[in-house]
A = this chain, B = another copy of it.
Amino acid sequence: MKRIKLTVAYDGTDYCGWQIQPNGITVEKVLNRALSRLTGEDIAVTGASRTDAGVHARGNVAVFDTASTIPPERFSYAVNTLLPEDVVVVKSEEVAADWHPRYQESVKTYAYHILNCEMPDPVQRKYVWHVNCPLDLEKMRTAAEYLTGEHDFKSFCSIHTGAKTTVRTIYSMDVERSGEVITIRVSGNGFLYNMVRIITGTLVEAGRGFRQPESVKELLDADERGKAGPTAPAQGLLLESIEYR
C-alpha cells in the first residue's frame, strides 16, 4: 500500500463544499468516485480543508491509500481524465504511510477577492464579492494589523462546535488593490469556521468607514460574534495553498 497526497484545485460554484453530505454533490465525492474508478478500489480521501459551498481552491490537499501500481506522480494525469472540468488534481506524490493532512503544522493561505467599483462584472461574478462603495485601503490595513499574530478568534467564528480551541495564529495579512480588484491575502496556522469571510466582512466595514479600525482590537480575545462584521459571500474566497513544514 502507498499513501498518495493530492493537491486539488476546484471551482466551488456548483458544489455543496468539500465534505460529503447526504444531499448534494461535493468535491470529496467526485474525487472518491474518480479515484475508485481509476484504481478499482473503494477509495475515500481525507482532506485538509473542508471548504464551504461556493468557495474555490487552487491548493487544497487530500490523501488516500492504494495498492495501485500507477506511479504516484502519474495519478494526477490519470484521475484528471475521469474528473469533471471544474475539479483538477494539479499534483500527486507519495508520502509516508502515517502522513495526515490535518494532524501536523501547516501554513494555509486564503485569498479573498473584492470587486470594488460601481457596476458588477459578469465575467468575474462567481469569483469576487462586488462592493460598490469606495473602500479606504489604509483603514482596512490598519484593522488587518490588529488581527495579525496569535489571538483568540472566537468573535470571528460562526459556529463554535468542532474546534477544541479558538486560538489561532495569523502569520500575515495583506490588503492590495490591482485595478478594481482588492485582494485580502491571509496566511495562518488554521482558520475557524467562516473566519476568513468574517474577517473580510469586518475589514470592509472598516474600509467603508462604518467602524473604526481600532474596534477590531476589542473583538480579539472576546466572544462577540455579533459585534464583528457580516460573513462575506462564499464566492470571493479561494484557498490558495497549504504548505507543510
Chain A residues with a Cβ under 8 A of chain B: 9-11, 56, 58, 76, 80, 85-88, 90-91, 119-123, 125, 127, 238
Give the residues in chain B near A121, CB-CB below 8 Å.
9, 58, 88
Q: How far is the CA of A137 from the CA of B64 in the complex (A)?
A: 40
Nearest neighbor of A11 in chain B, beta-carbon distance: B122
Q: Is the CB of A88 within 8 A of B58?
A: no
Please, how many angstroms separate the alpha-carbon atoms of A151 and B88 in the complex? 42
Q: A10-B123, A56-B123, A88-B119 are in contact. List 4 more A-B contacts (CB 8 A).
A: A9-B123, A88-B121, A88-B122, A91-B119
**Nearest CB on B from A211, distance (A):** 28
CB-based nearest B residue for A120: B88
Residues of B within 8 A of A9 (CB): 119, 121-123
Q: Can you spell out 22 A-B residue pairs with CB atoms less than 8 angstroms apart?
A: A9-B119, A9-B121, A9-B122, A9-B123, A10-B122, A11-B123, A11-B125, A56-B122, A56-B123, A58-B121, A76-B119, A80-B119, A85-B120, A85-B122, A85-B125, A86-B122, A87-B122, A88-B119, A88-B122, A91-B119, A123-B127, A123-B238
Look across to chain B and name the residue whose beta carbon is closest to the beta carbon of A10. B122
Give Cα A127–Cα B126 distance, bound, in whole angstroms. 12
Q: Which residues does chain B contribute within 8 Å of A238, judged by CB atoms?
A: 123
- Give min CB distance, A125 to chain B, whole Å: 6
Residue of B nearest to A9 (CB): B122
CA separation between A77 and B90, bound complex, in Å? Answer: 41
Instruction: Please measure, in the bound complex, the distance between the C-alpha atom of A120 and the C-alpha atom of B123, giving whole angstroms.
Output: 18
Q: Which residues of B have CB within 8 Å of A87? A: 122
A125 with B58: CB separation less than 8 A = no
Q: Which residue of B lies closest to A119 (CB)?
A: B90
Residues of chain B with a CB closer than 8 A to A56's CB: 122-123
Point out the residues of chain B lying under 8 angstroms from A122, CB to CB.
9-11, 56, 85-88
Chain B residue numbers with a CB within 8 Å of A125 are 11, 85-86
Top 7 A-B residue pairs of the complex, sorted by shortest distance between their CB atoms:
A11-B122, A90-B119, A86-B122, A56-B123, A88-B122, A11-B123, A10-B122
Within the complex, the shortest CB–CB distance from A41 to chain B, in Å, comes to: 24
Instruction: List chain B residues, Cβ under 8 A from A88.
Output: 119-122
